[in-house]
Amino acid sequence: MKQVTMYQGKRVLVIGLAKSGLAAAMLLHELGASVTVNDQKPLDENETAKQLHEKGIRVICGGHPLGLLDEPFDLVVKNPGIPYTNPMVAKALEKGLPIITEVELAYAICEAPFIGITGSNGKTTTTTLIYEMLKEACKKPLIAGNIGMVACEVAKTAHEDNWVVTELSSFQLMGIEAFRPRIAVLLNIFDAHLDYHGTKEAYAQAKGNLLKNQTESDYAVVNADDEWVMKLAEASSATKIFFSTTKPLNSGAYVKDQAVYWNSEKVIALSDIVLPGKHNLENILAAVAAAKLVGADNAAIARVLTTFTGVKHRLQYVGTVNGRKFFNDSKATNILATQKALSAFSDQRVILLAGGLDRGNEFDDLIPYLKQVQAVILFGQTAQKLERVAKQAGIETVYHVDNVEKAVPVAYEISKPGDIILLSPACASWDQYKTFEQRGDIFISAVHKLE
């Protein structure tokens, strides 16, 4: 860890705890800052706050008192999920206080270079692929950010010969000042988190912050097929490395003759890749580009791509039971994610398991993607809405069940060998489950019971 003095004696307010707030407060305390932590949850229910209090860190819990900002703070570290419209954050902005997220702290203390990955879809898969490729090539990667450990915890242990592979959200990227990844990977820009950012333009600009501090000696790996990504890349000073699933490129990562190429070099045949879906091919190309820039060899990359079946809950291959292949896509908490999952199996028979929290939307946008679906098994608050869409798409076989666990044996009974049984709910899980992970784990357990 770099020995930095920039926070020594600074009065820092950390707003919001969870994992990132805890890690930021602990690190700042270690660096000699005078830290005050403010969290919504009352102290008697807040184990994290109690832990900080025992370390001698000032803790104010049970609300966000605006009067706290009358104190002379030098810096605010904000939990990424707290919007800038929050009254406490808004007042800090009015006072002209710098507001950062913990990834900025991670960059300040880290001896190792960063690979930063962002985009509307595919961040976790791409981050994991890059990490696995570099690990296979003995490049000493560490994984951080929204998956794995909090970035500033990883940064404490990183050395010059490591690479910190970091998944980054738009929320985190709004709170950076100096953060500069050696390699930035910008996958795609879709409509997302507009309740937080307000407009797609503001959301895209937040994503584009990943590139803003890069210089010509850094690399920006960008999707040549995405208009919004290309627009953001135009303003970047970094050396651009393009990837594309639709056209051969003079350099970069692309598809030609049913194979993945890096520059003019064949890396792997598409038929040898086990991760399904066109959207995953974009993730693969981005990962190949980043891995090659670090120096990974083709053999190491190919070994990963012939064995990597997906990140848990993200179009994860669970197993085959009597010829039926089961896929867990519980992370598909919106229509776009389910569209992508269905597109991955456009030439195969699919039994779709779907449903969940009703957020007031309809599901008509799924209809063009249901052509290969033979039956739907529905659960949760949106079951009736999804049945209407299924009937409109011409699907005659529709079952209603109580939950995911009961959906699995029904899907098995009505399916045939060769069918894909796909959990891709198109809805959040909170009507029946605490998290999408819990929902996915129950699906996996039910599949294993069939085995």
Query: Would you state the structure tokens that stand for residue 225, as one six-digit string?
Result: 């097929």
Q: Determine whether the annotation assigns residue 121 to a binding site.
A: yes
Q: Determine whether the annotation assigns residue 96 to a binding site.
A: no
3 state SS of 145: strand
In angstroms, rounded to a whole number, what is the distance separating the alpha carbons of residues 113 and 200? 30
Query: Would you state the structure tokens that stand for residue 135, as one six-digit string?
Result: 């690990």
In angstroms, rounded to a whole number, what is the distance separating the alpha carbons of residues 423 and 438? 13
Q: Determine whether the annotation assigns residue 120 to a binding site.
A: yes
Query: Would you state the structure tokens that stand for residue 143, as one six-digit string?
Result: 């994984």
3 state SS of 263: coil
- Residue 238 near residue 182 (C-beta atoms within 8 A): no
Which one, of 182, 216, 209, 211, lies nearest residue 293 by Cα?
Answer: 182
Q: How many CA atoms lie within 13 A of 173 on its CB side?
A: 27
DSSP label at residue 336: H
Q: How far is CA 135 from the centre of its chain?
A: 20
Which one, of 413, 398, 406, 425, lies nearest residue 327 by Cα?
Answer: 425
**Number of Cβ within a 10 Å radius of residue 437:** 14
Give the CA-trace dihedral at 381, 386, 388, 389, to 10 degrees. 160
Residue type (1 letter), 65? P
- Residues annotated within a binding site for ATP: 119-125
- Residues annotated within a binding site: 119-125
